[in-house]
């Protein structure tokens, strides 16, 4: 039975009021159906600490102090939470983990559930007045924060040796922290469970402020803030305690929730187009809830330049959408890209059925490049001076990377440029240099064959400026994309970063040689650009303007996929499938036919799982789509 959301606050409060104390070893369900059970219950989870600090690809997160937060950080996979899924988290110094870019949560702490306030959609494993900083140089705060993901179905956040904030009477009684608490959050994609584990706590050092009703909160809250589970407040869990939250097999609520899930491409990441070309802008609207959307969905798309002037708008209306349904919208008229540079492509939806307006917008970066004199410079940066820098502590195998999918093919990579920073003193040489690398994209869409590498010694690095590395043997890319990396030879050298303008989300961090989505991929880009040569006269005719509405579905696919597009003129189209290694694995000439819609079923049984490029060529125009074939 569908329950009106206006009743959910009352339901949440009833669940909260039913907790008599930690003597109760299980609770729920909440209004959606989540339940909890702890290690004191005979059927509950057993304490089994996971030491992620020793794992090779664990990340120690810096930047936390007193009453602040960091992120968003990629989990490397999507975790289902209530009726949505999330791939990123924000982490607060006060023992909370959020699934969206919420504000900071500090004392006094909210009762769960409570809509609004500092933020909703978070986990509270140990929400209290913790402190990662120190206001006295004689005292070192032992706190550290770690994250780890297996990239498939497990993500762990560990707070290690974190003390509480302590009033040091204006410096008369330092330090301004006391106690030692180590706890972790484990998100499992296997059963969608959430586990809080407590390895060490010091309840005697916890301060229960008389001015706050809640100084220790443990629980979970959904995206609207109306639903959640809370254990008794103001009780510090003891060491070796575990509590696990489990979603229902059948939800108790019916939630229609339309949302724009991607713009421009199915990766929902930055995309290159050629300036002065006509582009058909697309967005995909999906019902990410668990109930049908019965009312129309209004979809608004817009392009904004860097000064945030709106230079294009498009509108569409979608009819009802079933549970799990989606629809790809192509805005009309086509957008005429005015000039090279970075743009925002924003989508906003409205619907009378929608109960979750927090996910009604989406934005990606569009980078328009100038293709004149048969050259292009491909970058996600605005080319303004950097507003930050990234430098790891290691060397040789630590650095950053980006992925680039050119707007046309083929392109020949001639040089790579990096904006390098150091200690700010440009009169003295940097202590170390860096390594430039270029990789082909493999069949799984990851960095594959190394196409180029070169070490730039410290004496040849220009600090605080762009450093060009020219390829001794230019590399030609005929389909798909490629990866570029920058590795520091040691400490004392950094790569410029930029948080201004649209963000590509195509950035990676490289630690001990392992690539992972950059922990700040949603908020920062690296100042890297790639200079390529190409046939611009052909490129201007090889855009989305010539092959309109090219759709490929389902994607990922298994046994077969359908290719559909609208042709502007009569012609003899050719459809090809290419592996990421440049091998043609399928080809078909479809014969002469008139303008209009055309559809083709692509047989995939003979292809191994991986990433491919589907290329349609007609009347000198060419369009490609990435295809993922699943197991």
* 375 class by beta-carbon count within 10 Å (0-12 exposed, 13-18 middle, 19+ buried): middle
Mean pLDDT by 10 residues, the chain (631 residues): 31 34 82 96 96 91 85 89 91 92 80 81 95 90 95 96 90 92 97 98 88 90 92 93 97 93 90 85 91 95 92 93 91 84 95 89 93 90 91 81 93 97 82 96 88 96 96 92 95 93 91 79 92 73 50 86 78 79 77 77 88 76 77 75
Q: Is 258 helix (H, G, I), strand (E, B) or coil?
A: strand
pLDDT at 144: 96
Give the containing element (helix H, strand E) for 14.
Answer: helix 8-17
pLDDT at 359: 85
The CA distance from 605 to 265, in Å, is 25
Distances (CA, A) of 195 to 198, 212, 312: 10, 27, 46
Predicted TM-score (pTM) above 0.85: no
- Copy the structure tokens of residue 407: 């707007």
Give the containing element (helix H, strand E) for 403.
Answer: strand 398-404
Which phi and psi angles does 9 have, rounded to 5°?
-60, -45
Instruction: Describe the strand order of the beta sheet including 177-188 as a list of residue ranges.
Output: 26-27, 35-38, 241-246, 194-200, 177-188, 154-165, 144-149, 59-61
CB 585 within 8 A of CB 611: no
SS3 content of the chain, % helix, strand, coil (to 5): 5, 50, 50
Residue by residue, DSSP assigns 29-60 as --SS--EEEETTSTTSPPP----GGGSTT-EE
CB 414 within 8 A of CB 532: yes
Which phi and psi angles does 354 have, rounded to 5°?
-70, 125
Annotation: CATH topology of 258-369: Immunoglobulin-like (2.60.40)
pLDDT at 3: 30
The CA distance from 620 to 541, in Å, is 7
Domain with CATH 2.60.40.1930 in the chain: 546-629
The CA distance from 83 to 223, in Å, is 9
Which phi and psi angles does 441 have, rounded to 5°?
-85, 130
What CATH homologous superfamily does 546-629 map to? Answer: Macroglobulin (MG2) domain (2.60.40.1930)
CATH architecture of 380-536: Sandwich (2.60)
305 Cβ neighbours under 8 A, 6+ residues apart: 311, 341, 343, 344
Domain with CATH 2.60.120 in the chain: 380-536
Domain with CATH 2.60.40.10 in the chain: 258-369
The CA distance from 293 to 127, in Å, is 36
């Amino acid at each position: 039975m569908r329950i009106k959301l206006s009743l959910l606050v009352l339901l949440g409060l009833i669940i909260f009021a039913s907790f008599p104390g930690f003597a109760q070893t299980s609770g729920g369900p909440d209004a959606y159906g989540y339940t909890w059970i702890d290690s004191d219950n005979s059927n509950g989870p057993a304490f089994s600490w996971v030491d992620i600090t020793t794992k090779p690809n664990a990340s120690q997160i810096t930047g936390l102090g007193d009453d602040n937060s960091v992120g968003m950080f990629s989990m490397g996979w999507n975790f289902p939470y209530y009726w949505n899924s999330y791939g990123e988290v924000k982490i607060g110094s006060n023992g909370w983990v959020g699934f969206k870019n919420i504000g900071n949560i500090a004392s006094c702490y909210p009762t769960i559930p409570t809509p609004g306030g500092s933020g909703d959609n978070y986990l509270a494993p140990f929400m209290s007045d913790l402190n990662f900083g120190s206001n006295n140089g004689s005292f070192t705060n032992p706190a550290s924060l770690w994250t780890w993901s297996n990239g498939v179905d497990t993500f762990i956040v560990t707070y290690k040796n974190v003390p509480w904030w302590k009033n040091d009477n204006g410096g008369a009684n330092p330090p301004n922290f006391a106690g030692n608490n180590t706890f972790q959050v484990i998100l499992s994609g296997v059963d969608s469970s959430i586990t809080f584990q407590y390895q060490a706590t010091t309840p005697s050092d916890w301060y229960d402020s008389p001015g706050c009703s809640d100084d220790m909160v443990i629980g979970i809250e959904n995206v609207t803030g109306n639903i959640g589970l809370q254990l008794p407040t103001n009780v510090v869990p003891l060491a070796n305690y575990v509590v696990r939250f489990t979603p229902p097999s059948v939800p108790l609520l019916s939630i229609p929730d339309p949302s724009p899930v991607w713009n421009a491409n199915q990766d929902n990441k930055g995309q290159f187009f050629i300036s002065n070309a006509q582009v058909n802008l697309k967005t995909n609207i999906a019902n990410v809830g668990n109930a049908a959307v019965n009312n129309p969905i209004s979809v608004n798309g817009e392009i904004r330049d860097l000064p945030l002037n709106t230079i294009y708008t498009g509108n569409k209306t979608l009819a009802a959408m079933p549970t799990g349904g989606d629809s790809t919208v192509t805005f009309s008229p086509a957008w005429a890209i005015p000039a090279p540079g970075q743009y925002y492509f924003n989508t906003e939806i409205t619907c009378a059925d929608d109960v979750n307006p927090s996910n009604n917008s989406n934005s990606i970066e569009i980078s328009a490049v100038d293709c004149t004199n048969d050259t292009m410079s491909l970058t996600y940066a605005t080319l303004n001076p950097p507003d930050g820098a990234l430098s790891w502590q290691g060397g040789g195998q630590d650095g950053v990377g980006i992925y680039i999918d050119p707007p046309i093919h083929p392109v020949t990579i001639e040089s790579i440029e990096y904006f390098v920073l150091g200690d700010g003193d440009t009169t003295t040489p940097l202590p170390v240099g860096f390594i430039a690398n270029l990789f082909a994209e493999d069949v799984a869409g990851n960095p594959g064959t190394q196409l180029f590498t070169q070490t730039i010694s410290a004496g040849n690095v220009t600090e605080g400026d762009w450093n060009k590395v020219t390829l001794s043997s230019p590399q030609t890319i005929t389909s798909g994309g490629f990866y570029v990396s920058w590795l520091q030879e040691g400490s004392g050298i950094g790569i410029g970063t930029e948080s201004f303008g649209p963000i590509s989300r195509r950035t990676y961090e490289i630690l001990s040689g392992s690539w992972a989505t950059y922990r700040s991929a949603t908020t920062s880009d690296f100042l890297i650009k790639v200079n390529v040569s190409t046939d611009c006269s052909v490129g201007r005719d090889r855009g989305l303007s010539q092959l309109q509405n090219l759709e490929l579905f389902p994607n990922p696919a298994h046994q077969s996929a359908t290719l559909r597009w609208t042709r502007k003129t009569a012609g003899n189209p050719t459809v090809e499938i290419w592996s990421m290694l440049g091998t043609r694995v399928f080809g078909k000439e479809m014969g002469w036919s008139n303008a209009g819609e055309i559809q083709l079923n692509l047989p995939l049984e003979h292809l191994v799982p991986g990433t491919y490029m589907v290329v349609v060529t007609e009347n000198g125009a060419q369009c490609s789509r990435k295809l993922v074939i699943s197991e």
